[in-house]
Structure 1
Amino acid sequence: MSPFIELPVSASVKTLMGVYTRKESPSVYSPVAGELPEGSLVRIQAAVLGDAVQGNPHWYRIDDGTFIWAGACTRVEPYPAFPPVTRVNWKAVVFEVR
């Protein structure tokens, strides 16, 4: 069972910037499956809570079963309401130790 909460959605979004698609899970630590250029029209299957990127934990599962960060795309309206008890897994990444 996946540790990520997923809500079914059937919609299309457009990428606002170049974005990596990720295999296996909505995480910056998942292997890169591919890359979509800015302006790509993408069909989504679900809204997913995953790793927070720039404070935004929302991702989309797209048609090919990979994940893209929702912050790089137009927003689905109305956006599905996640349960209020949803907990987001936060991870700190240290890029430089001083």
Structure 2
Amino acid sequence: MSPYSEIPVVGTVNTLTGAFTRKESPSVFAPVADALPAGSGVSIQAAVLGDAVQGNPHWYRINEDTYIWAGACTRIDPYPAFPENTRTKWTAVVFEVR
């Protein structure tokens, strides 16, 4: 069990591109645990909130202390329903300079 907000999820995903797994935390600053080529199968133990990468803060915990960014993977089926307060809400603001 990690110290991060997580939802227990059991399933398998495939990497969409080459991807790094991270040790200790769901962060791009965490040490690299492994480099996976595109199409690698990964077993998932939980959905976790971590560093937002390209606006997506969702990661998967793949064992006790290893994580992979969910944006580098196919969706698991069924896709976990993240709590409403963890979803990123974007508002476009357009300013006209005169």
TM range (shorter): 0.7 to 0.9
Q: TM-score, normalised by structure 1?
A: 0.79
Query: Any gaps of 5 or more consecutive residues in structure 2?
Result: 89-98
Change (3 A) 1:65 1:28: same
Q: Which has the larger radius of gyration?
A: 2
Matched residue pairs, number?
Answer: 87
CA pair 18-83 structure 1, distance change in 2 beyond 3 A: same
CA gap of 1:46–1:30, structure 2 versus 1, over 3 A, is: same
TM-score (norm 2): 0.79
Query: How far apart are the structure 2 equivalents of 1:5 and 1:64?
Result: 14
RMSD over aligned Cα atoms: 1.9
SS at match of 2:35: strand
Q: CA deviation at 1:64?
A: 6.1
Identical residues among aligned pairs (%): 68
Which residue number corresponds to residue 33 of structure 1?
Answer: 33
Match for 2:47: what amino acid?
A: A
Question: Which aligned runs of 4 or more in structure 1 are off by greater than 4 angstroms?
Answer: none
CA distances 1:35-78 after superposition (whole Å, capped 9, x unpaired): 11111011110011111000111111113631000101001122
Mind listing any 5+ residue stretches in structure 1 that lack a counterpart? 89-98
